[in-house]
Chain A
């Protein structure tokens, strides 16, 4: 088991793990998310359309919703001890209502001089398939 990362630039080392968090891939939050976006894509709320026309096994979680959960892996860990500088990620596989998703993060680089940490992040499903891999660079306050 890798050591748990602490958002203190003096203590960070590559290989340290960030806390894992589970996210509810449920209809309520899928609705709320697409409502705040004003996103009418029917694969997110029209079950007959999503399954019979598009051929998905269920309602599809929104891609950027998973992107936000990647962000939270690091923003929650940082709290008020740092801020995100850049994020790079891709949506490789779809997630569906009823899936059990989780975010993971692992420190891959530490730049003590510039007080920066690079974290490899992922959203995985219950089958341990990586749905959305990414990399986040954050600055750590002194």
Chain B
């Protein structure tokens, strides 16, 4: 099947977002722990963040003109894809260090891959976003690879 991926589209591979710096607070950890129904005291007291807390810490904070009508933040890292309908994707997360209140963490995101697969049900486009979270010493804290599928 013909490629849906133009050279211009593929040029976006390697594109990165500006680094984001965030301070971890005990209050934010506690709110996350309650929202996710944690039962471990260390999480509920905010002494340590539940593993996926990083996702809330670095969720985008879009300004009003960056919100689409369905309430989703427009991701400036993503190009216009020829397929629009998003299917379920997957995550691969590596946890290098625990997160504690007072930590100052930095996240960078990279559009690390775009590829096409042709199957019996048609053509699918896959893209991957790699997020690296490091601490103030530059040590890795979390590495997350998200794969999204478009059809």
Residues of chain A touching chain B, judged by Cβ–Cβ distance below 8 Å, are 23-24, 29, 32-33, 35-43, 46, 49, 54, 63-65, 67-69, 71-72, 75-76, 79, 83-93
Contact = CB atoms under 8 A, between A and B. Distances in A.
A126 to B, nearest CB: 17
21 contacts: A23-B37, A24-B37, A33-B35, A36-B35, A41-B70, A41-B71, A42-B70, A63-B88, A67-B52, A68-B50, A72-B36, A72-B37, A72-B39, A83-B95, A84-B51, A84-B95, A86-B93, A86-B95, A89-B90, A90-B88, A90-B89
B94 interface: yes
Interface stretch (B9-17, B54-62, B76-84, B127-135): B54-62
Contact of A87 (B31, B35, B93): B93
Given A29-B35, A76-B40, A37 B50 contact: no
Contact of B36 (A38, A63, A69, A83): A69
B124 to A, nearest CB: 14
B85 interface: no
Report the interface size class on chain B: 20 to 34
A85 B97 CA distance: 9
Given A38-B60, A40-B72, A87-B95, 15 more contacts: A32-B34, A35-B31, A37-B55, A39-B71, A46-B71, A64-B52, A67-B52, A68-B50, A84-B95, A87-B51, A87-B91, A87-B92, A89-B90, A89-B91, A91-B89
Interface of B: 28, 31-32, 34-40, 50-52, 55-56, 59-61, 67, 70-73, 88-95, 98
A12 B16 CA distance: 42
Contacts of A83: 95, 98
A24 B37 CA distance: 9
Given A41-B72, A64-B55, A36 B32 contact: yes
A79 to B, nearest CB: 7
Contacts of B52: 64, 67-68, 71
A43 B67 CA distance: 14
A33 B90 CA distance: 20
